Amino acid sequence: MSVVLKQLVKEVMGDKEARARLMSRLSFVGDVPMVKTLYRLNTGKRLNLERPRTFNEKIQWYKLHYRNPMMTRCADKLLAKEYVREKGFGSIVTPVYAVWETAREMDFSQLPSRCILKCNHNSDGAVVWDREKMGEVEDIRKRFELMLGNNAFWGSREWCYRDIVPKVFAEELLVPRAGGLIDWNVFCFQGIPKLVLCNAGLMNDDGSHAEVARRAAFDAGFNYLDIETSMMRIPEGWISKPLFFEEMLHIASALSAPFPHVRVDFFQVDDQMRFGEMTFYSSSGYAEWKPEEWQYRMGDWFELFKYEQSRSCID
């Protein structure tokens, strides 16, 4: 990729919508050079695709070489709900009130007094809806119209998003009786839960991602782990083991079984859990994991050699 293109990409790294628009115009750039460039810009490191060792390196390989049609279904926030129901876990699926294929179709009169609006094909842009926002419906439609026009694949070449048919949907707003919503991330490898992250304060009241959030890391036995990421760390002993912890791991294992790796997310609402989403390329493979030994430990869990037959990418 030319120096000029690298500079353009770098200038929009912090603006996801601008980045998606730019990346869609760079579709002529092959997946491999684009992934290598983005990795260098986000991590400051050269990407080793021939002998990937770290978790982040293997995520990049996963983007380029592993092709399982079920990934597209499970990455789609609407179709993933069907997958969870088919596996027998319908009780933890959050109800959907409405689905629209275009922003113009959005009918706010059919919605309850409060709910949350999302796209099925991206990870940002949620809007908390309440009846007091009736005067803002056109602005909301314009916002979702922009998101529906962006294919998340081009932003980082995450293959599982490429063929999702974009839609907008409204679902129940999860509101705990006490405290904020807690997000649990279960990192599974070959269907085995290995690492669990507990995230607090991820969402603002309007549905947007919070700038300041806190995180704690645990193993599958709920032992606190000395791991630092980009989020402020929650001290040991501050997070109580939820009553549903073992059941959550069981469900994550069942949902992740067909894949070499996937992160299965759940929301904690008081003493209950709800399914969140399935993420195949956690943080797009750019996250910091400290101490660095965790990059290699997680990389060891991520066994790619079994999946050489899945190689398929556009150079």
Quick: pLDDT tens for 160-170.
999 999 999 99
Residue 247 has pLDDT above 50, yes or no: yes
- Confidence (pLDDT) at 94: 98
CB 265 within 8 A of CB 276: yes
| Residue 109 CB partners (closer than 8 Å, separation 6+) | none
Residue 182 has pLDDT above 80, yes or no: yes
86 exposure class (CB count in 10 Å sphere: 0-12, 13-18, 19+): exposed
Q: How far is CA 75 from CA 121, 174, 217, 235, 292, in A?
A: 7, 21, 24, 32, 28
Distance from C-alpha of 141 to C-alpha of 182, rounded to nearest angstrom: 29
Q: Taking the domain 177-301, which CATH number applies? A: 3.30.470
The domains of the chain are located at 95-171, 177-301
- Confidence (pLDDT) at 5: 55
Which single residue is written with the structure tokens 């030994």? Answer: 293
Residue 13 burial (CB count, 10 A): 12
CB 285 within 8 A of CB 60: yes
Which single residue is written with the structure tokens 């109580």? Answer: 240
Looking from the CA of 310 toward its CB, the CA atoms found within 13 Å total 16
Q: Which of 223, 306, 224, 300 is nearest to 259 (CA)?
A: 306
- Confidence (pLDDT) at 291: 95
